[in-house]
Amino acid sequence: MERFLNYIGGERRAARSEQWLVSVDPSTGEPWAEVPDSDSTDVEDAVAAASRAFAESDWRRIPAAERAARLRSLADSVEANAERLSDVETRDNGRPLRETRFSQIPGAAMQIRYLAGLSEDITGSTLNIRPDTMAYTMWEPVGVVAVIIPWNGPLPVFFAKVTAALAAGNAVIVKPAQQATASILEATKLFDDLDIPAGLVNVVSGRGASVGDAIAGHPGVGKISFTGSTETGRRIMQSATVNIKNLLLELGGKSPNIVFADADLDAAAAGAAAGIFTPNAGQACVAGSRILVESAVYDEFVARLAKHAENIVVGDPFDPDTGMGPIANGSQYESIRSYLDVGRSEGAALEFGGRVTEQLMPESSRLRGGYFVEPTLFTTDRNSLRVAREEIFGPVAVAVPFQHEEDAVRIANDTEYGLAAGVWTEDLRRAHRMTRRLQAGVVWVNTYKAMHWALPFGGHKHSGNGTAGGPTALHEWMNQKSVWMNVGEQLPPAAPVGDSRLPIK
Ligand code: NAD
């Protein structure tokens, strides 16, 4: 078994307790690695190392162009190590290599370069308030910040968050998900050869209830970026009251993908399939897990969707022909299986799919121990069913018919979540009406799941708060400061804002 170590203050070490968590290869169910089972004492070490690095290193004081150049070298290093990083990620969480190596790692390098560029473009504003006053705003790093990561996309989240935090001048502590830690600990090795001071990046491996909770409630951490479930997000908000911590929350979803009768049905069926039957088995926050279809084309559309699902090869994530890999871990596999039972028992019709490892993998195959679920569709006209309301986080969609536009909007917004939505229509005016009325942080029209770091991304309603990405991405990692400077000849007395008695010189 391989062993991966924590990264604290530039050193690699086991947890102080010397306890380990076992990491399982989800395509076979075999243990393959060990990662530290850390606790609050390791978090104390990481906060101390990060505080020291923030206070003592030159990182905040070097010219912005220099900081950007050093971050760009991280992107070069990501590209140079793409093979090893993607192998570990695929082994550890089962996301097919075709995605990790050929899309996620190259994408991470491009995103790092974009964020590095933003560090050269941190701008405040000047305000014309009074003739005797020069008023301006400036942005400063928060200090020590933390990033808590889910298991469904460890490396992309790690590189994006760490780079943004560093580009803004902070020191950062990272807590990977205990089910998918190895690739992030492997990625810390890239920092050994970079000109980024030790202690600016720290990774503490461990459980949510110990390491995560200790970070969320630590008075020395000024900001937390959390990506994960809405339930854990709520818990972190409570812990963060300790020091009124600033939170960026990227949470769950139950996103509607809406198909109107006038849509290009082939494109819509392909887009709906790609939105939920993803290579990583629908374990995507923005998965289009509720497919709303106008009644006039409902049967026709479901038949086309079934054809797409049939053609997806479920199997070994290292095989280039695999269209969908395993579920990332055993507990998520159990959870999805129980939703298959919930759907059946609450009266949804199983339109296609529903088979799991025992029915999908031959007895002789090493994949027989893995966690596989085939593309699955439930149909129902009740958006109130649990399978239509709760985030299943797997390759399981529910299709719901609607009668007209008003009906589509009502069903689409009838959810606690507000992360993403898709609209398929050839009617331009309808497309604009829908984008205005849908309660979601991102709306795709005649496409689905397209992402780019230059576009802001954040959830509405219970899908989160704050915004990642886009040209102001670094603001999430900084505090704003306003400056009043008296440039008159005579000092005016202190006075409330807007006090008209203040003499103007
Ligand atoms: P999760 O909430 O179970 O765990 C996420 C992280 O929080 C893990 O590192 C976990 O160890 C940690 N954690 C757990 N309990 C904690 C506590 N009490 N205090 C502090 N940290 C704690 O989520 P998951 O199952 O790993 O990931 C799947 C979820 O993430 C889905 O809901 C998905 O929609 C969401 N997600 C959202 C986005 C987005 O951008 N909106 C992106 C990816 C995933």
Widest Cα–Cα separation across the chain: 89
CB atoms closer than 10 angstroms to residue 33:
22
φ and ψ of 147, to 5 deg: -130, 120
Where helices occur in 286-422 by DSSP H, the ranges are 298-310, 330-345, 357-360, 386-389, 405-413
User: Which pTM was predicted?
Assistant: 0.96
Ligand 1 pocket member 212 (CB < 6 A): yes
- Residue closest via CA to ligand 1's atom 43 equals 285
Q: Which of 34, 89, 186, 285 is catalytic?
A: 285
Minimal CA–CA distance to 97: which of 324, 286, 270? 324
Per-residue pLDDT of the chain (505 residues; tens, 9 = 90+): 999 999 999 999 999 999 999 999 999 999 999 999 999 999 999 999 999 999 999 999 999 999 999 999 999 999 999 999 999 999 999 999 999 999 999 999 999 999 999 999 999 999 998 888 899 999 999 999 999 999 999 999 999 999 999 999 999 999 999 999 999 999 999 999 999 999 999 999 999 999 999 999 999 999 999 999 999 999 999 998 887 888 999 999 999 999 999 999 999 999 999 999 999 999 999 999 999 999 999 999 999 999 999 999 999 999 999 999 999 999 999 999 999 999 999 999 999 999 999 999 999 999 999 999 999 999 999 999 999 999 999 999 999 999 999 999 999 999 999 999 999 999 999 999 999 999 999 999 999 999 999 999 999 999 999 999 999 999 999 999 999 998 887 656 666 556 555 555 4
Contact 361, 16 (CB under 8 A): no
Query: Residue 490 Cα, ligand 1 centroid: separation in angstroms?
Result: 56
DSSP assignment of 7-31, as one string? EETTEEE--TT--EEEEEETTTTEE
Ligand 1 pocket member 250 (CB < 6 A): yes
- Mutate which of 43, 227, 231, 419 for ligand 1 pocket (most atoms within 8 A of beta carbon): 227
Angle between helices 105-118 and 154-167 (to 10 degrees): 10
Ligand 1 pocket member 229 (CB < 6 A): yes
Q: Which of 34, 186, 250, 351 is catalytic?
A: 250
Tokens 């397209």 map to which residue? 450
CA distance 109 to 81: 11
CA distance 250 to 274: 22
Where helices occur in 168-216 by DSSP H, the ranges are 182-187, 213-216
Annotation marks residue 285 as catalytic: yes
Ligand 1 pocket member 285 (CB < 6 A): yes
Which contacts qualify for 187-191: CB closer than 8 Å, 24 or more apart? Answer: 187/78, 187/85, 187/155, 187/158, 187/159, 188/7, 188/12, 189/81, 190/74, 190/77, 190/78, 190/81, 191/7, 191/10, 191/74
Where helices occur in 39-180 by DSSP H, the ranges are 40-56, 64-80, 82-93, 97-99, 105-118, 154-167
Ligand 1: nearest atom to the Cα of 232: 2
Ligand 1 pocket member 253 (CB < 6 A): yes
- Residue closest via CA to ligand 1's atom 35 equals 228
- Mutate which of 21, 38, 152, 254 for ligand 1 pocket (most atoms within 8 A of beta carbon): 152
Ligand 1 pocket member 254 (CB < 6 A): no
- Residue closest via CA to ligand 1's atom 21 equals 212
- Taking only Cα atoms into account, the Rg of the chain, rounded to an integer number of angstroms, comes to 25
Angle between helices 105-118 and 64-80 (to 10 degrees): 180
Secondary element (H or E) of residue 319: none
- Mutate which of 285, 286, 290 for ligand 1 pocket (most atoms within 8 A of beta carbon): 285
Query: Residue 251 Cα, ligand 1 centroid: separation in angstroms?
Result: 7
Helix (H/G/I), strand (E/B), else coil: 264: coil
Tokens 């812990």 map to which residue? 239
Residue-level pLDDT at 492: 61
Minimal CA–CA distance to 397: which of 374, 417, 423, 416? 374
Query: Residue 227 Cα, ligand 1 centroid: separation in angstroms?
Result: 5
Ligand 1: nearest atom to the Cα of 459: 41
CA distance 56 to 279: 44
CB atoms closer than 10 angstroms to residue 228:
24
